[in-house]
Amino acid sequence: MTMKKRTKEILTFYSEKQVCFDNIQNRSFSKSPLKPYLLMKRIEFKKLNNVFSINSDFSPFSEVDFKIAHTETYINNVFQGEGNYLSNSLPWSKNLVKSVCYTNAALFEAKKYSILHPETVCFAPVSGMHHAQPNRGSGFCTFSGQVISAIKLYQEFGVSGAYFDLDGHFGNSIEDSREFNPLLNLAIPKGCNINPTGKNESYVESFKKGLAHVGELIIKGKIHYVVFAHGADSHEDDDIGGGCDTKHWVQCASIFAEWVNKISLETGRFLPVTLALFGGYRSDNYNAVLDLHLKSLVKCSKIICRNVN
Ligand SMILES: [Zn+2]
């Protein structure tokens, strides 16, 4: 078997347009709308620039994209600041609306690139999607970016994907959107929204079962790409999460990365991989949230991209 090398850097779909600077630092429990910016700063501070390359050149989602997973009324409410526009529990601003158009697009563009260029591991430094429902936001989430991106990619390329959602909270928006847009059953087949449960060893075992299940579907040609959303709120020190100590939390990243290599070897082609952030809340020490995310990203960089610098 001859396979090219993986691209050394993780290609990161980031622009400051996907950051909301208005009212988040002082008025929002969730700092996630600022997280892409804070993470990029932390990458500089930790001198990890060589792990990532940046692509900032992508267009935002429009209301037409959001219609794939949401009612017109809800979309209009969010854009105009009316009705149930506060259902995401975030302080509304024009800047917030603009930023979510870019976070959702960043995830789509990252996934699309990974499908077109499987040798490159892609990364969308985004959160605030997996609790959104067709007619409302929920739990700091505004629009269902993972649902929309999956359906768009199914329509464009006929590909189906799986989510490893290791956020500390169940990613309900996929299951809650199946009736609204049945194409989702093809874009993310049932049983392919993997949300491990349990604590430490049992959490790791639950994750491994999900990997084994999706692995079989990849071998059978039924799943074509994966997204690994390693939410930091599955860590025991998080303000609203907690299932894993640091050892087991980081172990999940290593297990995922080794699994990606194993599956790629078995199929003879690089498995398209996209990484994402999802949740993470620490009022006492937000850098601890960022550092957990970075530990996971660096593991993926070392094991999948073999970036040893
Ligand atoms: Zn969460």
What pLDDT is attached to residue 2? 54
Percent of the chain topping pLDDT 70: 99
Confidence of residue 242 (pLDDT cuts 50, 70, 90): confident
88-108 average pLDDT score: 94
212-229 average pLDDT score: 98
User: What Å distances lie between residue 24 and 55, 90, 169, 281, CA to CA?
Assistant: 25, 8, 21, 13
Spacing, Cα 168 to ligand 1 middle (Å)? 5
Is the pLDDT reported for residue 1 higher than 60?
no
What tokens does 251 get?
Answer: 């172990």
What pLDDT is attached to residue 309? 56
Is the pLDDT reported for residue 49 higher than 60?
yes
Spacing, Cα 268 to ligand 1 middle (Å)? 35
What pLDDT is attached to residue 129? 96
Spacing, Cα 221 to ligand 1 middle (Å)? 31
Spacing, Cα 130 to ligand 1 middle (Å)? 8
Spacing, Cα 245 to ligand 1 middle (Å)? 16
294-308 average pLDDT score: 95
What tokens does 300 get?
Answer: 């993926």
Is the pLDDT reported for residue 91 higher than 90?
no
User: How many CA atoms lie within 13 Å of 275's alpha carbon, on the beta-carbon side?
Assistant: 29
What pLDDT is attached to residue 4? 79
Is the pLDDT reported for residue 296 higher than 70?
yes
* End-to-end Cα, the chain, rounded Å: 27
Spacing, Cα 234 to ligand 1 middle (Å)? 7
Distance CA 165, CA 227 (A): 8
Spacing, Cα 145 to ligand 1 middle (Å)? 15
Q: Which residue has the tokens 């850097």?
A: 9
What pLDDT is attached to residue 246? 97
Q: The domain 10-303: what is its CATH number? A: 3.40.800.20
Spacing, Cα 126 to ligand 1 middle (Å)? 13
What pLDDT is attached to residue 256? 98
Is the pLDDT reported for residue 278 higher than 80?
yes
Does pTM surpass 0.85? yes
Distance CA 118, CA 304 (A): 12
Q: Where are the domains of the chain?
A: 10-303
Spacing, Cα 2 to ligand 1 middle (Å)? 40
Q: Which residue has the tokens 């979510």?
A: 100
Please state the three-class secondary structure of the chain as a single string: CCCCCCCCCEEEECCHHHCCCCCHHHHCCCCHHHHHHHHHHHHHHCCCHHHEEEECCCCCCCHHHHCCCCCHHHHHHHHHCCCCCCCCCCCCCHHHHHHHHHHHHHHHHHHHHHHHCCCCCEEECCCCCCCCECCECECCECCCHHHHHHHHHHHHHCCCEEEEECCCCCCHHHHHHCCCCCCHHHHCCCCCEECCCCCHHHHHHHHHHHHHHHHHHHHCCCCCEEEEECCHHHECCCCCCCCECHHHHHHHHHHHHHHHHHHHHHHCCCCCEEEECCCCCCCCCHHHHHHHHHHHHHHHHHHCCCCCC
Position 177, amino acid: S
What pLDDT is attached to residue 89? 86
Spacing, Cα 7 to ligand 1 middle (Å)? 30
Are 273 and 260 a contacting pair, CB within 8 Å?
yes
pLDDT digits (tens, 9 = 90+) for 128-180: 999 999 999 998 999 999 999 999 999 999 999 999 999 999 999 999 999 99
Spacing, Cα 279 to ligand 1 middle (Å)? 4
244-268 average pLDDT score: 97
Mean pLDDT value across the chain: 95
Of 239, 290, 274, which Cα lies nearest the Cα of 115? 274
Percent of the chain topping pLDDT 90: 90
User: What Å distances lie between residue 41 and 35, 47, 53, 120, CA to CA?
Assistant: 10, 10, 14, 23
Confidence of residue 24 (pLDDT cuts 50, 70, 90): confident
Of 15-29, 67-81, 242-256, which gets the smallest average pLDDT? 15-29
282-289 average pLDDT score: 94
User: How many CA atoms lie within 13 Å of 212's alpha carbon, on the beta-carbon side?
Assistant: 6
14-18 average pLDDT score: 96
Spacing, Cα 263 to ligand 1 middle (Å)? 28
